[in-house]
Amino acid sequence: MTLTSMETRSQMASLVREFVRRDVEPVVAHYENEDIYPQELVDKMAEMGLFGIMIPEEYGGLGLDYTTFALIFEELSKGWMSLTGPLGTHHILAYVIATYGTDEMKRRFLPRMAEGVVRGGLALTEPSGGSDMQNLQTSAVRNGEEYVINGNKMFISNGASGNAFAVLARTDKTAQPPHRGISCFVVEKPAAGFTVAQKLDKLGYRGIDTTELVFDNVRIPTENLVGEVEGQGFSQVMSGLEGGRINVAARAVGVATAAFDAAIKYAQQRESFGQPIAQHQAIQLKLAEMATNIEAARLLTYEAARKKDSGERVDLEAGMAKLFASEMCGEVTMEAMRIHGGYGYIKDYPLERYYRDAPLMIIGEGTNEIQKLIIARRLLRKYQI
């Protein structure tokens, strides 16, 4: 991957920061409170080229690196974390196609994805499966020059608004271990039998649709099998999720930073016992810990991004970044709410939104319990005696 220059990185950060200030902050409360999909904001992100962040320039994308990608996600999340939703899974699909797809598949999908005409998502999780993707039940059976897909997927970001999905399905029920019987397909809308069953009403991450998808005898051409080789889907998607965990860690850093900024400003304005509460030692201790933990999470996140840019395997580093940053975000948003007191609990202030958004990073892109298992297994291999 070509590394992005510092100048370009700075320009992208400034562009996104201005977009958040000008277009997002004035309307976020309306979209969030009413749980309305921010179509106008998403379309503006497409005009800015953000649907092509990681897509190679030869296919019309910006061809930026993961460090810049993480920076963009951090800046967006400072304004409204939900806006990273349409981009996150889109870029995992783009990565899977760009890395493992045939030349024909790349030409067919990547230019339209870079433009934002095709907006991607991941259809991995199932109603009864959760994190246990190796035992998924969705099936894909070859029938001549087509595959027939049957099954249900749950908790799918962009399920209603997206129009192309990386779908994991079992093509070999007898394979051992089970993940060797899983393949990855790109399924586009509209398609007969492919429906959105329900939109899920969530605690946080509002505005962005999270749905159940149903595949009822959905027929797709064999060319939509990623790499045109069965049994590779699990490893293809796991590689893509390394980048997904980096983007979730960056989201957590962004939300925590916004919460800290609100808290330290409020602490200098709010008075009690004749002085700003920022002068009370109890508040100072909270601010010191919050700022230190945010910086530690940021360093972990950008180190994982740097290694991903260098072509190294980063499931260990991405898992650590995602684990630490998301747990940190939950703690910092709670501490920021405590500093605000009762005002942090009401919707007139954005603190309650930061607090509601924080759990997504803890349970999204693989729960933190799963992250700990991934980290431990990689460490045991690394330090094997």
The one catalytic residue among 74, 126, 242, 365: 365
Number of Cβ within 10 Å of residue 307's Cβ equals 18
Q: Residues with Cβ < 8 Å from 96, sequence gap 6 or more?
A: 166, 184, 226, 236, 237, 239, 240
- Lookup result for tokens 């201790």: 285
Question: Ramachandran region of residue 155, left (φ > 0), alpha (ψ -120 to 50) or beta?
Answer: left
Closest by CA position to 136, among listed 121, 122, 152: 152
SS3 readout for 176-245: CCHHHHEEEEEEECCCCCEEEEEECCCCCCCCCCEEEEEEEEEEEEHHHEHHHCCCCHHHHHHHHHHHHH
Q: Is 126 a catalytic residue?
A: no
- Catalytic residue positions, numbered: 365
